[in-house]
Structure 1
Amino acid sequence: MKKFLSEALFEEIYDESNQESDIEQEVLYNEFLKFNYESLKKAQERVIELMEETDNESLESGDESFESDDEPLEG
């Protein structure tokens, strides 16, 4: 009878620890996803900033080339 009770108690403790482990893994996974989401969001914002800077530089250099086109050609 003692053996049966000790085995039953072990199984109960083992099941509880597995459930806790599953919950901990789920929490860690959710934190990982949240971290990745935040990182991707920051990266996206930075890419957009760089694209806007590149567009602005292209427009500025494009304006300069238009101004230089107005100068008479030597020939």
Structure 2
Amino acid sequence: MMKPVLSLHEIALLLLVLGASAQVRHTDSDAIALQQAKLIEVVQEAASDRNLRLTAEGRELLRRLGAGGG
């Protein structure tokens, strides 16, 4: 099965999650697409505080792109 191609916006959002995840809303359409691709996930930090973080697959993708990934 072939993985979907990521848009430039989705790649930029992956980089933003890597460096400043609190700036990304988990309801953003690109964030939702990346969640569905299992590249990022929502984590509950406090009762009403949700942040995004890279999954292992997301970190691996950024590593392959030369962006560190964690």
The structure, 1 or 2, with the larger RCO (C-alpha pairs under 8 Å, 6+ apart) is 2
TM-score surpassing 0.5?
no
User: Hey, which of these two has a bigger chunk of strand by percent?
Assistant: 2
Short-chain TM bin: under 0.3
Higher-Rg member (1/2): 1
User: Hey, which of these two has a bigger chunk of helix by percent?
Assistant: 1
TM-score, normalising length: structure 2: 0.18
